[in-house]
């Protein structure tokens, strides 16, 4: 049966490509799948799932062709638009509505000659507005009603099971034949069509510059035959930044140090504008894990901090900024990856806490995010034995292992859906991570994830094998078609809500590229980046050595290993006599002499795990030894993790900058020389090596 399906898909693909060769038309000029005829024309704003609240006196309406085969597409050509009352509002030939300022109602209609739809536009005073002064009028769209607008149910009624399943699959095409995929390949285009993919995730290898990325994303959308693709990326900011061009925003822990919802909103919005201009419509961000474990090797500075309220408040602000641009947001990694000391990319972590503790800490930000309208939730490949202690036999070791959250019905359905009331889309984390691949086969893991309640299987290991395995599970009754349809309903609903719709007449790619080049890395966004960085720098310790005078005499020695040249470059903007020594351990006699004669020593450390920040680490031993090598003050900078001072607590001054983007280095240098007033406060507690408290949550010094 699988072989017959594969043969049919191959024949369809060959026929499709051959027909394009004969006709000589590029994909973007085709109005729909060849041979399909629209059975209706409706306004997107009449669809119940779509928020149709205009936010200005000029707004855009969108027309959709609806096809008998179950899909719908955005159309813009050969339409006639009209307003029944031009005294209230007019509409142009592209569906853009402009209010006149006069109160009243008008109906905006659109027709293609065969079908017609309309929507009411009311412009009037809100009777419930009791604010002082002259009441202002508000614009409201009044939806038409009827079965013709139930696009999701129409799709569920008409799509094949293969098409429904395809909406749930989201592979990556990071590389092909050992080369980074930076442009569409015929083999990938065929896979998008054959498996009716619902989305694709992009990585740094795929997004090397602005123009190339915009073209690649357009080519992916052109390859999809019926529905818009969810084009996704992990553009968190900070240490997880995929775009190779554009603005390099500070990460979540830097935002946590600012304590500013406004800055978090602005960063989320700017990220949304940049990736949205490229056609990327879904961001796997923000991280809403509570990082209350200093030993966490994978979350760390990707978290807003250790306080559940802080994580919730800033996570929601970031999300609202992101969603204001039309980009879908994803909270991750449910039920919480913050209190682990194992990286799920490498092993299977465990969070041992009971339900009461989880509700107070780990689950709290996710619950608040759900209530605030989070589009998607990403699961964690982490075990939670107090919620689900089900054990399975590991394929790798033959021993019992506890079922991780991604594969747990008790976590995804009973906890998230039933108890917490979440109705949005659930996606797995990458299914190629060792926490999954070491213990479960790729097909078994995918089946378990869907059975558990996941709507999207992200980065399945072996697309063909997993798709066929899931279809077999459906045919054999392991997974019901109703279960599949529940996921497809949520996915298509999200696509409608966020405007992820196949376009019959997309914007010319040259115009798309030109706009992206203006948005990505704009001056406005770089200003937001600088503001976030400057407000995040946290002065943790200062034995009366900072700020340094800008007319300082003598040599400033900048010492360290990873990213030390970046720190040295930033310091050089304030002082002419700077020497950078890049070393992670032993020093030469010449370097020892340079340190001994230096006027000020600035040491940078960059760690991400317990071994890196251990006092026995050669770089930490070197920083600890500086007090014996020089009479000069020693200023240390935790380039990434604020916890680094645990290994060298006797330095004269210490600053935390939470990341290695250029703006953060510049902000640190500005702080050291007094050009930036340090206002950041610790979003985490810094313990001693013996687990006492070295610096408390909220600590931060000023000048």
Following DSSP, what letter does each residue of 279-338 receive, concatenated?
Answer: T--EE---B------TT-SSSGGGSS-S-HHHHHHHHHHHHHHHHTTT-B-EEEEET--S
**Which residue among the candidates 20, 209, 345, 609 is catalytic per the annotation?**
345
Do the Cβ atoms of 244 and 258 come closer than 8 Å? no
Do the Cβ atoms of 284 and 332 come closer than 8 Å? yes
Do the Cβ atoms of 50 and 497 come closer than 8 Å? yes
Do the Cβ atoms of 203 and 170 come closer than 8 Å? no
- The residue with tokens 């392991």 is 478
Residues near 281 by beta carbon (within 8 Å), at least 6 away in sequence: 228, 230, 231, 232, 326, 327, 328, 498, 499, 500
- Catalytic-residue membership of 375: no
- The residue with tokens 């200023």 is 635
> Alpha-carbon distance 467 to 484, whole Å?
13
Do the Cβ atoms of 279 and 512 come closer than 8 Å? yes
> Alpha-carbon distance 372 to 317, whole Å?
10
Question: Among residues 532, 540, 536, 533, which one has the least CA distance to residue 644?
Answer: 540
**Which residue among the candidates 339, 388, 429, 566 is catalytic per the annotation?**
429
Q: What share of the chain is helix, strand, coil (3-state, %, to 5)?
A: 35, 20, 45
Q: Dihedrals φ, ψ of 519, to 5°?
A: -85, -45
Question: Among residues 672, 666, 609, which one has the least CA distance to residue 643?
Answer: 609
Question: Among residues 526, 602, 28, which one has the least CA distance to residue 270?
Answer: 526
Following DSSP, what letter does each residue of 180-243 receive, concatenated?
Answer: E--S--HHHHHHHHHTT-SEEEE-GGG--SHHHHHHHHHHHHHH-SSS--EEEE---BTTB---
Using DSSP bridges, classify how beta strands 38-43 and 89-91 pair: parallel, antiparallel or unpaired.
unpaired
Q: Bridge-partner residues for 654, per DSSP?
A: 541, 636
- Catalytic-residue membership of 345: yes
Question: Among residues 464, 466, 472, 473, which one has the least CA distance to residue 445?
Answer: 466
Q: Bridge-partner residues for 604, per DSSP?
A: 560, 637
Do the Cβ atoms of 294 and 687 come closer than 8 Å? yes
Q: At 654, is the secondary structure helix, strand, or coil?
A: strand
DSSP 408: -
User: Angle 509-519/210-223 helices, nearest 10 degrees?
Assistant: 140
Q: Bridge-partner residues for 573, per DSSP?
A: none
- The residue with tokens 């400033």 is 556
Using DSSP bridges, classify how beta strands 578-582 and 556-560 pair: parallel, antiparallel or unpaired.
parallel
**For 583, how many CA atoms within 13 A lie in the half-sphere containing its CB?**
19
Please state, as a whole number, how many other Cβ atoms lie within 10 Å of the Cβ of residue 506.
18
> How many separate helices (H) and strands (E) can be counted in the chain?
22, 30
Burial of 579 (0-12, 13-18, 19+ CB in 10 A): middle
Q: At 165, is the secondary structure helix, strand, or coil?
A: helix
> Alpha-carbon distance 200 to 516, whole Å?
20
Residues near 268 by beta carbon (within 8 Å), at least 6 away in sequence: 285, 286, 317, 318, 319, 320, 321, 322, 329
Active site residue ranges: 345, 429
């Amino acid at each position: 049966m699988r072989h017959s399906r594969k043969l049919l898909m191959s024949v369809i693909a060959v026929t499709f490509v051959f027909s394009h060769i004969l006709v000589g038309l590029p994909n973007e000029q085709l109005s729909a799948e060849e041979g399909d005829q629209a059975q209706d024309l409706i306004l997107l704003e009449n669809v119940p799932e779509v928020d149709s609240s205009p936010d200005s006196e000029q707004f855009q309406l969108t027309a959709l062709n609806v096809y008998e085969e179950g899909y719908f597409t955005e159309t813009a050509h050969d339409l006639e638009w009209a307003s029944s009352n031009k005294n209230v509002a007019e509409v142009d030939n592209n569906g853009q509505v402009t209010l006149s300022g006069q109160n009243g109602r008008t109906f905006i209609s659109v027709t293609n000659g065969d079908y017609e739809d309309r929507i009411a536009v009311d412009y009037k005073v809100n009777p419930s507005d009791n604010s002082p002064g002259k009441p202002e009028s508000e614009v409201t769209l009044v939806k038409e009603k009827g079965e013709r607008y139930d696009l999701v149910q129409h799709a569920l009624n008409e799509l094949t099971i293969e098409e429904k399943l395809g909406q749930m699959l989201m592979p990556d095409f990071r590389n092909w034949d050992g080369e980074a995929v930076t442009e569409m390949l015929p083999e990938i285009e065929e896979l998008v069509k054959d498996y009716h993919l619902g989305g694709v995730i992009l990585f740094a290898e795929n997004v090397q510059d602005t123009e190339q990325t915009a073209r690649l994303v357009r080519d992916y959308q052109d390859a999809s035959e019926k529905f818009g693709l969810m084009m996704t990326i992990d553009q968190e900011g900070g240490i997880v930044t995929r775009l190779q061009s554009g603005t390099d925003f500070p990460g979540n822990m830097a935002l946590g140090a600012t304590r500013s919802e406004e800055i978090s909103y602005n960063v989320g919005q700017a990220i949304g504008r940049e990736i949205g201009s490229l056609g990327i419509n879904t961001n796997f961000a923000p991280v809403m894990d509570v990082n209350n474990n200093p030993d966490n090797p994978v979350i760390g500075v990707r978290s807003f901090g250790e306080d559940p309220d802080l994580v919730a408040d800033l996570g929601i602000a970031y999300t609202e900024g992101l969603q204001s641009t039309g980009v879908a947001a994803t909270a991750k990694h449910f039920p919480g990856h913050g209190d682990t000391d194992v990286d799920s990319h490498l092993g299977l972590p465990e969070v041992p806490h009971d339900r009461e503790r989880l509700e107070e800490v780990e689950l709290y930000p996710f619950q608040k995010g759900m209530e605030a309208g989070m589009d998607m939730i990403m699961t964690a490949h982490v075990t939670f034995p107090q919620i689900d202690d089900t054990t399975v036999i590991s394929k790798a070791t033959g021993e019992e292992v506890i079922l991780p959250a991604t594969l747990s019905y008790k976590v995804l359905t009973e906890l998230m859906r039933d108890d917490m009331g979440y109705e949005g889309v659930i996606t797995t984390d990458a299914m190629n991570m060792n926490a999954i691949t070491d213990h479960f086969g790729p097909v078994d893991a995918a089946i378990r994830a869907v059975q558990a309640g996941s709507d999207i299987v992200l980065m399945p290991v072996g697309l063909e094998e997993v798709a066929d395995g899931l279809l077999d599970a459906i045919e054999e009754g392991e997974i019901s078609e109703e279960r599949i349809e529940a996921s497809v309903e949520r996915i298509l609903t999200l696509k409608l809500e966020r405007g992820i719709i196949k376009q019959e007449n997309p914007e010319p790619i040259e115009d798309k590229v030109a706009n992206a080049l203006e948005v990505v890395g704009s001056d406005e966004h770089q200003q937001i980046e600088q503001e976030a960085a400057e407000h995040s720098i946290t002065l943790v310790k200062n034995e009366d050595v900072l700020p340094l005078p800008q007319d300082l005499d003598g040599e400033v020695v900048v010492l360290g290993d990873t990213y030390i040249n970046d720190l040295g470059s930033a310091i050089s903007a304030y002082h002419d006599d700077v020497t950078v020594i890049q070393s992670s351990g032993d020093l030469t006699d010449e370097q020892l002499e340079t340190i001994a004669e230096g006027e000020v020593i600035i040491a940078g450390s960059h760690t991400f795990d317990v071994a890196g920040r251990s006092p026995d680490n050669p770089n930490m031993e070197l920083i600890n030894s500086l007090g014996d090598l020089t009479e000069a003050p020693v200023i240390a900078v935790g380039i990434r993790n604020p916890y680094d001072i645990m290994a060298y607590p006797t330095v004269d001054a210490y600053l935390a900058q939470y990341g290695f983007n250029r703006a953060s280095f510049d902000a640190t240098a500005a702080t050291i020389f007094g050009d930036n007033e340090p206002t950041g406060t610790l979003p985490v507690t810094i313990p001693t090596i013996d687990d006492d408290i070295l610096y408390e949550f909220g600590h931060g010094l000023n000048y």
